[in-house]
Amino acid sequence: MSTTRPATQTRQEVDKTKRFVFVLLDNFTMLCFAAALESLRIANRMAGREVYSWRIIGEGGDFITCSAGTGFKLDGDLEELNRDDVVMLCGGIDVQAASTKRLLGWLRRESRKGLPVAGLCTAAYTLAKAGLLDGKRATIHWENQDSFAEEFQEVELTKSVFVVDDKRLTTAGGTSSIDLMLKLIANDTDEQLANAVADQLIYSSIRTDQDTQRLSVPTRIGVRHPKLSQVIQIMEQNIEEPISPSILAKDVGMSTRQLERLFRRYLNRSPKRYYMELRLQKARNLLMQTDMSVINVALACGFASPSHFSKCYRAHYDTTPYRERGTHAARLSI
Protein backbone atom coordinates (compact mmCIF):
# COMPACT_ATOMS: atom_id res chain seq x y z
CA MET A 1 0.00 0.00 0.00
CA SER A 2 1.51 3.29 -1.11
CA THR A 3 1.96 6.10 1.38
CA THR A 4 3.31 8.66 -1.09
CA ARG A 5 0.07 10.50 -1.71
CA PRO A 6 -3.40 10.75 -0.19
CA ALA A 7 -6.21 8.75 -1.71
CA THR A 8 -8.62 11.67 -1.46
CA GLN A 9 -8.87 15.36 -0.86
CA THR A 10 -11.13 16.66 1.87
CA ARG A 11 -13.96 19.06 1.10
CA GLN A 12 -12.15 21.86 2.81
CA GLU A 13 -8.96 22.24 4.75
CA VAL A 14 -9.59 22.43 8.48
CA ASP A 15 -7.27 24.86 10.24
CA LYS A 16 -7.33 23.02 13.54
CA THR A 17 -6.79 19.31 14.06
CA LYS A 18 -9.71 17.67 15.87
CA ARG A 19 -8.66 15.85 19.04
CA PHE A 20 -10.27 12.66 20.30
CA VAL A 21 -9.76 11.80 23.96
CA PHE A 22 -10.13 8.07 24.57
CA VAL A 23 -11.07 7.18 28.14
CA LEU A 24 -10.29 3.53 28.81
CA LEU A 25 -12.37 1.84 31.51
CA ASP A 26 -10.96 -1.08 33.43
CA ASN A 27 -11.55 -4.33 31.50
CA PHE A 28 -12.39 -2.39 28.33
CA THR A 29 -12.87 -4.31 25.07
CA MET A 30 -9.80 -3.90 22.90
CA LEU A 31 -11.68 -4.30 19.62
CA CYS A 32 -13.98 -1.31 20.12
CA PHE A 33 -11.01 0.88 21.06
CA ALA A 34 -8.65 -0.33 18.34
CA ALA A 35 -11.31 -0.06 15.63
CA ALA A 36 -11.99 3.58 16.52
CA LEU A 37 -8.35 4.56 16.88
CA GLU A 38 -7.24 2.85 13.67
CA SER A 39 -10.00 4.63 11.76
CA LEU A 40 -8.53 7.97 12.83
CA ARG A 41 -4.96 6.93 12.05
CA ILE A 42 -5.90 5.76 8.58
CA ALA A 43 -7.94 8.91 7.95
CA ASN A 44 -4.80 10.99 8.59
CA ARG A 45 -2.76 8.80 6.29
CA MET A 46 -5.27 8.84 3.45
CA ALA A 47 -5.82 12.59 3.77
CA GLY A 48 -2.08 13.25 3.77
CA ARG A 49 -2.31 15.53 6.78
CA GLU A 50 -3.23 15.43 10.47
CA VAL A 51 -7.01 15.67 10.40
CA TYR A 52 -7.17 14.05 13.83
CA SER A 53 -5.05 13.71 16.94
CA TRP A 54 -5.77 11.66 20.05
CA ARG A 55 -4.94 11.22 23.69
CA ILE A 56 -5.52 8.10 25.80
CA ILE A 57 -6.43 8.61 29.45
CA GLY A 58 -8.02 6.71 32.29
CA GLU A 59 -8.60 6.76 36.01
CA GLY A 60 -5.24 6.80 37.80
CA GLY A 61 -3.42 7.92 34.65
CA ASP A 62 -0.82 5.15 34.74
CA PHE A 63 -1.71 1.68 33.52
CA ILE A 64 -4.92 -0.11 32.58
CA THR A 65 -5.84 -3.63 31.51
CA CYS A 66 -8.27 -4.65 28.78
CA SER A 67 -10.65 -7.62 28.96
CA ALA A 68 -8.11 -9.81 27.14
CA GLY A 69 -5.58 -9.22 29.93
CA THR A 70 -3.25 -6.95 27.92
CA GLY A 71 -1.99 -3.84 29.71
CA PHE A 72 -1.86 -0.33 28.27
CA LYS A 73 0.20 2.68 29.33
CA LEU A 74 -2.03 5.73 29.61
CA ASP A 75 -1.12 9.27 28.54
CA GLY A 76 -2.68 10.71 31.67
CA ASP A 77 -5.34 10.75 34.37
CA LEU A 78 -8.88 12.10 34.10
CA GLU A 79 -8.04 15.71 33.25
CA GLU A 80 -9.63 18.96 32.20
CA LEU A 81 -10.50 18.87 28.51
CA ASN A 82 -10.80 21.47 25.78
CA ARG A 83 -14.24 22.54 24.61
CA ASP A 84 -13.64 21.21 21.10
CA ASP A 85 -12.42 17.76 22.19
CA VAL A 86 -14.44 14.60 21.46
CA VAL A 87 -14.63 12.18 24.40
CA MET A 88 -14.71 8.45 23.59
CA LEU A 89 -15.38 6.15 26.56
CA CYS A 90 -14.38 2.55 25.90
CA GLY A 91 -16.19 -0.02 28.03
CA GLY A 92 -16.15 -3.78 28.31
CA ILE A 93 -16.62 -6.42 30.99
CA ASP A 94 -17.98 -5.45 34.44
CA VAL A 95 -18.78 -1.92 33.31
CA GLN A 96 -20.73 -1.35 36.52
CA ALA A 97 -17.60 -1.71 38.62
CA ALA A 98 -15.59 0.41 36.16
CA SER A 99 -18.12 3.26 36.38
CA THR A 100 -16.70 4.71 39.59
CA LYS A 101 -18.00 7.77 41.41
CA ARG A 102 -14.90 9.70 40.41
CA LEU A 103 -15.36 8.85 36.74
CA LEU A 104 -19.06 9.74 36.80
CA GLY A 105 -18.31 13.08 38.47
CA TRP A 106 -15.61 13.85 35.92
CA LEU A 107 -17.98 13.01 33.05
CA ARG A 108 -20.73 15.27 34.38
CA ARG A 109 -18.31 18.14 34.86
CA GLU A 110 -16.67 17.87 31.44
CA SER A 111 -19.97 17.35 29.60
CA ARG A 112 -21.16 20.76 30.84
CA LYS A 113 -18.68 22.27 28.38
CA GLY A 114 -20.91 21.05 25.57
CA LEU A 115 -18.40 18.70 23.98
CA PRO A 116 -19.49 15.46 22.25
CA VAL A 117 -19.30 12.36 24.46
CA ALA A 118 -19.40 8.82 23.08
CA GLY A 119 -19.85 5.48 24.80
CA LEU A 120 -18.34 2.57 22.89
CA CYS A 121 -19.56 -0.96 23.61
CA THR A 122 -20.85 -1.16 27.21
CA ALA A 123 -19.73 2.41 28.05
CA ALA A 124 -23.26 3.54 27.20
CA TYR A 125 -23.99 2.25 30.72
CA THR A 126 -21.48 4.74 32.15
CA LEU A 127 -23.03 7.63 30.20
CA ALA A 128 -26.50 6.65 31.40
CA LYS A 129 -25.30 6.26 35.00
CA ALA A 130 -23.91 9.80 34.82
CA GLY A 131 -27.29 11.04 33.59
CA LEU A 132 -25.93 12.04 30.19
CA LEU A 133 -28.41 9.94 28.20
CA ASP A 134 -31.62 11.07 29.90
CA GLY A 135 -34.20 11.74 27.19
CA LYS A 136 -31.76 10.59 24.50
CA ARG A 137 -31.74 7.74 22.01
CA ALA A 138 -28.93 5.26 22.61
CA THR A 139 -27.72 1.72 22.00
CA ILE A 140 -25.58 -0.82 23.82
CA HIS A 141 -24.33 -4.36 23.13
CA TRP A 142 -27.29 -6.72 22.70
CA GLU A 143 -26.18 -8.82 25.68
CA ASN A 144 -26.61 -5.77 27.95
CA GLN A 145 -29.89 -4.52 26.48
CA ASP A 146 -32.21 -6.21 28.98
CA SER A 147 -30.42 -4.92 32.07
CA PHE A 148 -29.94 -1.45 30.57
CA ALA A 149 -33.64 -1.13 29.73
CA GLU A 150 -34.62 -2.13 33.27
CA GLU A 151 -32.24 0.33 34.94
CA PHE A 152 -32.46 3.35 32.64
CA GLN A 153 -36.08 3.70 31.61
CA GLU A 154 -35.59 7.40 30.81
CA VAL A 155 -33.29 6.45 27.92
CA GLU A 156 -34.80 5.52 24.55
CA LEU A 157 -32.88 2.31 23.92
CA THR A 158 -32.59 1.06 20.34
CA LYS A 159 -31.10 -2.05 18.76
CA SER A 160 -29.10 0.00 16.25
CA VAL A 161 -25.43 -0.56 15.48
CA PHE A 162 -24.74 3.00 16.62
CA VAL A 163 -26.75 6.08 17.58
CA VAL A 164 -25.92 9.76 17.30
CA ASP A 165 -28.34 11.94 19.27
CA ASP A 166 -27.06 15.50 19.28
CA LYS A 167 -23.77 15.34 21.22
CA ARG A 168 -24.33 11.89 22.69
CA LEU A 169 -22.96 8.98 20.69
CA THR A 170 -23.23 5.28 21.52
CA THR A 171 -22.25 2.06 19.78
CA ALA A 172 -23.17 -1.59 20.18
CA GLY A 173 -19.56 -2.71 20.48
CA GLY A 174 -17.20 -4.73 18.31
CA THR A 175 -16.83 -3.44 14.76
CA SER A 176 -19.64 -0.90 15.21
CA SER A 177 -16.91 1.54 16.29
CA ILE A 178 -15.81 1.56 12.65
CA ASP A 179 -19.30 2.47 11.43
CA LEU A 180 -19.52 5.38 13.87
CA MET A 181 -16.04 6.65 13.02
CA LEU A 182 -16.72 6.49 9.28
CA LYS A 183 -19.82 8.61 9.81
CA LEU A 184 -17.86 11.16 11.86
CA ILE A 185 -15.06 11.25 9.29
CA ALA A 186 -17.58 11.81 6.49
CA ASN A 187 -19.23 14.62 8.49
CA ASP A 188 -15.88 16.28 9.25
CA THR A 189 -14.44 15.95 5.74
CA ASP A 190 -16.29 14.09 2.98
CA GLU A 191 -17.67 10.71 1.96
CA GLN A 192 -14.64 10.08 -0.25
CA LEU A 193 -12.22 10.08 2.70
CA ALA A 194 -14.56 7.88 4.78
CA ASN A 195 -14.79 5.39 1.90
CA ALA A 196 -11.00 5.41 1.51
CA VAL A 197 -10.66 4.54 5.21
CA ALA A 198 -13.21 1.72 4.81
CA ASP A 199 -11.23 0.36 1.86
CA GLN A 200 -8.03 0.33 3.88
CA LEU A 201 -9.82 -1.54 6.67
CA ILE A 202 -11.20 -4.07 4.15
CA TYR A 203 -14.59 -2.99 5.45
CA SER A 204 -16.93 -3.54 2.52
CA SER A 205 -20.33 -3.31 4.22
CA ILE A 206 -20.59 0.08 5.92
CA ARG A 207 -23.59 0.19 8.25
CA THR A 208 -25.71 3.17 9.21
CA ASP A 209 -27.68 4.00 12.35
CA GLN A 210 -30.64 2.29 10.69
CA ASP A 211 -28.94 -1.11 10.80
CA THR A 212 -29.57 -3.43 13.74
CA GLN A 213 -26.72 -5.11 15.60
CA ARG A 214 -27.83 -8.74 15.83
CA LEU A 215 -27.97 -11.32 13.09
CA SER A 216 -31.41 -12.10 11.71
CA VAL A 217 -33.35 -14.87 13.42
CA PRO A 218 -32.85 -17.33 10.51
CA THR A 219 -29.09 -16.74 10.56
CA ARG A 220 -28.88 -17.10 14.34
CA ILE A 221 -30.80 -20.37 14.53
CA GLY A 222 -29.39 -21.72 11.27
CA VAL A 223 -32.87 -22.34 9.86
CA ARG A 224 -34.63 -20.44 7.10
CA HIS A 225 -38.29 -21.10 7.74
CA PRO A 226 -40.42 -17.92 7.66
CA LYS A 227 -43.08 -19.02 10.13
CA LEU A 228 -40.55 -20.41 12.60
CA SER A 229 -38.61 -17.14 12.45
CA GLN A 230 -41.82 -15.17 12.93
CA VAL A 231 -42.79 -17.15 16.04
CA ILE A 232 -39.33 -16.74 17.57
CA GLN A 233 -39.45 -12.98 16.96
CA ILE A 234 -42.81 -12.82 18.76
CA MET A 235 -41.34 -14.80 21.66
CA GLU A 236 -38.32 -12.49 21.94
CA GLN A 237 -40.61 -9.45 22.01
CA ASN A 238 -42.88 -10.89 24.71
CA ILE A 239 -40.67 -12.14 27.54
CA GLU A 240 -42.38 -10.39 30.46
CA GLU A 241 -45.82 -11.65 29.44
CA PRO A 242 -45.33 -14.98 27.64
CA ILE A 243 -47.82 -15.99 24.95
CA SER A 244 -49.26 -19.50 24.88
CA PRO A 245 -48.26 -21.89 22.05
CA SER A 246 -51.86 -22.00 20.82
CA ILE A 247 -51.98 -18.22 20.35
CA LEU A 248 -48.51 -18.19 18.79
CA ALA A 249 -49.64 -20.83 16.32
CA LYS A 250 -52.81 -18.90 15.50
CA ASP A 251 -50.80 -15.69 14.95
CA VAL A 252 -48.83 -17.34 12.14
CA GLY A 253 -51.71 -19.30 10.65
CA MET A 254 -50.84 -22.74 12.00
CA SER A 255 -52.37 -25.29 14.33
CA THR A 256 -50.74 -25.93 17.70
CA ARG A 257 -49.77 -29.42 16.55
CA GLN A 258 -48.10 -28.03 13.39
CA LEU A 259 -46.15 -25.56 15.51
CA GLU A 260 -45.00 -28.35 17.81
CA ARG A 261 -43.80 -30.41 14.85
CA LEU A 262 -42.00 -27.39 13.37
CA PHE A 263 -40.01 -26.77 16.56
CA ARG A 264 -39.25 -30.47 17.03
CA ARG A 265 -38.04 -30.83 13.47
CA TYR A 266 -35.76 -27.78 13.32
CA LEU A 267 -34.81 -27.04 16.95
CA ASN A 268 -35.29 -30.43 18.63
CA ARG A 269 -37.39 -28.97 21.41
CA SER A 270 -40.97 -27.90 22.01
CA PRO A 271 -42.09 -24.24 21.57
CA LYS A 272 -42.70 -24.11 25.31
CA ARG A 273 -39.16 -25.30 26.06
CA TYR A 274 -37.59 -22.89 23.59
CA TYR A 275 -39.62 -20.00 25.06
CA MET A 276 -38.52 -20.99 28.57
CA GLU A 277 -34.86 -20.93 27.52
CA LEU A 278 -35.25 -17.41 26.11
CA ARG A 279 -36.81 -16.23 29.38
CA LEU A 280 -34.13 -17.87 31.51
CA GLN A 281 -31.36 -16.34 29.38
CA LYS A 282 -32.83 -12.89 29.97
CA ALA A 283 -33.12 -13.68 33.69
CA ARG A 284 -29.46 -14.68 33.85
CA ASN A 285 -28.42 -11.44 32.13
CA LEU A 286 -30.44 -9.42 34.65
CA LEU A 287 -29.02 -11.33 37.62
CA MET A 288 -25.45 -10.86 36.43
CA GLN A 289 -25.68 -7.27 35.19
CA THR A 290 -28.09 -5.49 37.55
CA ASP A 291 -28.87 -5.24 41.23
CA MET A 292 -32.56 -6.08 40.68
CA SER A 293 -34.03 -8.34 43.33
CA VAL A 294 -34.60 -11.97 42.38
CA ILE A 295 -38.35 -11.40 42.69
CA ASN A 296 -38.25 -8.49 40.23
CA VAL A 297 -36.09 -10.49 37.84
CA ALA A 298 -38.64 -13.30 37.98
CA LEU A 299 -41.49 -10.90 37.19
CA ALA A 300 -39.55 -9.26 34.36
CA CYS A 301 -39.11 -12.68 32.76
CA GLY A 302 -42.70 -13.82 33.03
CA PHE A 303 -42.57 -15.96 36.18
CA ALA A 304 -45.52 -15.55 38.52
CA SER A 305 -43.69 -16.79 41.62
CA PRO A 306 -40.05 -16.80 42.84
CA SER A 307 -40.32 -20.50 43.72
CA HIS A 308 -41.30 -21.50 40.19
CA PHE A 309 -38.58 -19.25 38.79
CA SER A 310 -35.98 -20.79 41.09
CA LYS A 311 -37.04 -24.32 40.15
CA CYS A 312 -36.83 -23.63 36.41
CA TYR A 313 -33.54 -21.75 36.75
CA ARG A 314 -31.91 -24.55 38.71
CA ALA A 315 -33.08 -27.19 36.24
CA HIS A 316 -31.50 -25.25 33.36
CA TYR A 317 -28.33 -23.75 34.90
CA ASP A 318 -27.72 -26.20 37.76
CA THR A 319 -27.69 -23.38 40.30
CA THR A 320 -30.29 -21.16 41.93
CA PRO A 321 -30.93 -17.50 41.06
CA TYR A 322 -29.87 -16.56 44.60
CA ARG A 323 -26.52 -18.30 44.23
CA GLU A 324 -26.03 -16.74 40.80
CA ARG A 325 -26.69 -13.34 42.30
CA GLY A 326 -24.27 -13.99 45.16
CA THR A 327 -21.53 -15.08 42.78
CA HIS A 328 -21.77 -11.89 40.75
CA ALA A 329 -22.72 -9.39 43.48
CA ALA A 330 -19.21 -7.96 43.61
CA ARG A 331 -19.47 -6.95 39.98
CA LEU A 332 -22.43 -4.70 40.66
CA SER A 333 -20.90 -2.46 43.31
CA ILE A 334 -19.50 0.91 42.23
Q: How does pLDDT run across 130-172, given as a tens digit for each residue?
A: 999 999 999 999 889 888 998 999 999 998 999 999 999 999 9
Q: Biggest alpha carbon distance in the chain?
A: 69
pLDDT at 217: 63
Q: How does pLDDT run across 209-262, given as a tens digit for each residue?
A: 776 655 556 556 667 788 998 899 899 889 999 999 999 999 999 999 999 999
Q: In tens digits, what is the pLDDT along the chain, a chain of 334 residues?
A: 333 334 444 443 445 899 999 999 999 999 999 999 999 999 999 999 999 999 999 999 999 999 999 999 999 999 999 999 999 999 999 999 999 999 999 999 999 999 999 999 999 999 999 999 999 999 999 889 888 998 999 999 998 999 999 999 999 998 999 999 999 999 999 999 999 999 999 988 777 777 665 555 655 666 778 899 889 989 988 999 999 999 999 999 999 999 999 999 988 999 999 999 999 988 988 888 788 889 999 999 999 998 999 999 999 999 999 888 766 544 443 3
Of the candidates 209, 109, 213, 127, the residue with the CA atom closest to the CA atom of residue 168:
127
Q: Quick one: which H or E segment has residue 138?
A: strand 137-138
How much is the pTM?
0.73
Report how far apart, in Å, the C-alpha atoms of 25 and of each of 74, 157, 310, 315 are.
11, 22, 34, 36
The residues near 191 (Cβ < 8 Å, ≥ 6 apart) are none
Burial of 210 (0-12, 13-18, 19+ CB in 10 A): exposed
The three-point CA angle 254-259-262 to 5° equals 120
Q: Quick one: which H or E segment has residue 86?
A: strand 86-90
Three-state secondary structure call for residue 162: strand
What is the Cα–Cα distance from 230 to 119, expressed in whole angstroms?
32
Report how far apart, in Å, the C-alpha atoms of 54 and of each of 50, 57, 155, 246 are.
11, 10, 29, 57
pLDDT at 213: 58
Cβ proximity of 193 and 46 under 8 Å: yes
**DSSP state for residue 308 in the 8-state scheme:** H
- DSSP secondary structure letters along 31-55: HHHHHHHHHHHHHHHHHTS-SEEEE
What is the Cα–Cα distance from 269 to 68, expressed in whole angstroms?
35
Three-state secondary structure call for residue 293: coil
What is the Cα–Cα distance from 306 to 145, expressed in whole angstroms?
23
3-class DSSP string for 276-300: HHHHHHHHHHHHHHCCCCHHHHHHH
Report how far apart, in Å, the C-alpha atoms of 15 and of each of 21, 50, 161, 197 are.
19, 10, 32, 21
